[in-house]
Amino acid sequence: MFTFYNTLDRRVEEFKSREDGKVSMYTCGPTVYHFAHIGNIRTYIMQDALIKSLEYAGYDVKRVMNITDVGHLSSDADTGEDKMVEGAKREHKTVMEIAKFYTDAFFKDFDAVGNKRPDVIEPATNCIPEFIHMVEVLLEKDYAYVAGGNVYFDTSKLKNYYVFSSVEQDDLEIGVRDDVEEDVNKKNKADFVLWFTKSKFEDQALKWDSPWGVGYPGWHIECSCISIKHLGEYMDIHCGGVDNIFPHHTNEIAQSESYLGHPWCKYWFHSNHLNDQSGKMSKSKGAILTVSLLQEKGYDPLAYRFFCLQSHYRKPLVFSWENLDNTVQAYNKLVKRVSELKEDGAVDETVKTEYEDKFREAVSNDLNTSMAITVLYDALKADTNDATKLALVKSFDKVLSLDLIGHAGALADAGSNVDTELEAYITDAIARRAEAKKAKDYATADAIRNELLAKGIVIKDTREGVVWELAK
């Protein structure tokens, strides 16, 4: 039994895929107007853990992700400037240059923390005809209206627009209050834009022809369209951060189900935010802490993954350098422990299965990744041989993706490099001493002997030549 918290039903429930053993999954991708901060990356790490846990439990997951390169305005409630235009202005570049640069930067960090790439990655700007088609159908079905040049979704046509019901009118009011000005074209406050033509911002860089005039799509339509395009009319799991619940996912459901005429996605998986000591991390909040920046400061991106996996996806996680440093220490210890394991014979299959079952149970129980890590520690302490422990580390890493075996190998290599360096130094010192003796410079010869002694190395002159050993 695989369970996780389904935001739609507001409880932890058993996951049942529509097709036996197969899972279709959609995840909202990044808005590529700026770097993805380590908070964004937390969301993608927890989604990766979900996918790999489902796979560990025997499912085959197909995952689709969009890249938001148009239509996401600075407020999620359809007001403000397009974030991409904002980014282009800030950096004196074109929107497409910005999109390319930040998409590449995103995937560099996405990969560095051990995430598996989605099966399909689709930039929104690839799918303009599909967006237009969906808007046309929504207009035909009378779920949408044209006002002031824009096309809006009419939320009053739905019996239950607030499907997640944890957010109600009050939250929407906050959304409106926060914004520059209210859109007078909307029939209802909750209505949202499907297609913009009369943007307040004349300098919108990307525009396409449409039946309603030259313009660009709203943000929410992207995800509805791209997911249906690649996964069909029904989907198993839709993922995002908790900030996506409203209005983004609420609007996606409104559009998709009105367009399709039937329920769309059964499970909604939301992971909580990474906060810093001053509150939620956000791209628009000054300096952006990225995985690449962590790397530049000498932190292993996989230690950051370890940091995320140690806490539950539904809890907010507070980032501090101290917390990260503690995790780095724990990660290094773990790597060292694994590096000490030797291939010492046959794997004990009974013990291996016993621990694999415990691990599967942990990740299948509302994605309890910290419990899964505890199972790993328990396995390393188990009364069994090293070969079995190594097999378990390899097996658990299919989900954890901490590259413990690779890092342990690198640590062993580094250790043997030190030995090689030491050997080279001793050989050189012995040669220098021989030269000094040949030149009858006994003072230098003795100084070299003492230099070696100070490093714990004893040399002896024998009939076969000079030999050395470590001081006892």
Residues interacting with Zn ion, by CB under 5 A?
A: 28, 223
43: contact with ligand AMP by CB under 6 A: yes
- Our measurement of the distance from residue 235's CA atom to the centroid of its chain's CA atoms, rounded to an integer in Å, reads 21
184, 338, 348, 380 from 383: Cα distances, Å: 70, 15, 11, 9
From the list 85, 134, 176, 281, which residue makes contact with ligand AMP (rule: CB under 6 A)?
281
53 binds, among Zn ion, ligand AMP, none (CB under 5 to 8 A by kind): none
105 binds, among ligand AMP, Zn ion, none (CB under 5 to 8 A by kind): none
Instruction: Return the number of other C-beta atoms located less than 10 Å from residue 442's C-beta.
Output: 10
State in angstroms the smallest separation of the CB of 68 from Zn ion: 7
- Using the minimum distance from each CB to Zn ion, give the nearer residue, 67 or 402: 67
- Between helix 442-454 and helix 404-438 the angle, nearest 10°, is 160
240: contact with ligand AMP by CB under 6 A: yes
> Which pair of structure tokens corresponds to residue 387?
């070969």
Name the DSSP letter for residue 2: -
Instruction: Report the C-alpha gap between 214 and 201 in whole angstroms.
Output: 13
Binding residues for ligand AMP, rule CB under 6 A, total: 17
215: contact with ligand AMP by CB under 6 A: no
Instruction: Report the C-alpha gap between 188 and 156 in whole angstroms.
Output: 7
State in angstroms the smallest separation of the CB of 1 from Zn ion: 29
Segment 1-40, which members bind ligand AMP (CB under 6 A)? 28, 30-31, 39-40
117, 204, 286, 296 from 100: Cα distances, Å: 17, 18, 22, 22
- Using the minimum distance from each CB to ligand AMP, give the nearer residue, 87 or 240: 240
200, 269, 271, 278 from 22: Cα distances, Å: 45, 17, 22, 42
280: contact with ligand AMP by CB under 6 A: yes
State in angstroms the smallest separation of the CB of 454 from ligand AMP: 52
- Using the minimum distance from each CB to Zn ion, give the nearer residue, 139 or 225: 225
266: contact with ligand AMP by CB under 6 A: no
- Using the minimum distance from each CB to ligand AMP, give the nearer residue, 31 or 364: 31
State in angstroms the smallest separation of the CB of 289 from ligand AMP: 11
221 closest CA partner among 117, 149, 116, 150: 150
Rg, C-alpha atoms of the chain? 29
Task: Give the binding range for ligand AMP (CB under 6 A) out of 92-100, 129-137, 158-166, 274-282.
Answer: 274-282
Catalog residues that contact ligand AMP under the rule CB under 6 A: 28, 30-31, 39-40, 42-43, 68, 240-241, 243-244, 273-274, 280-281, 283
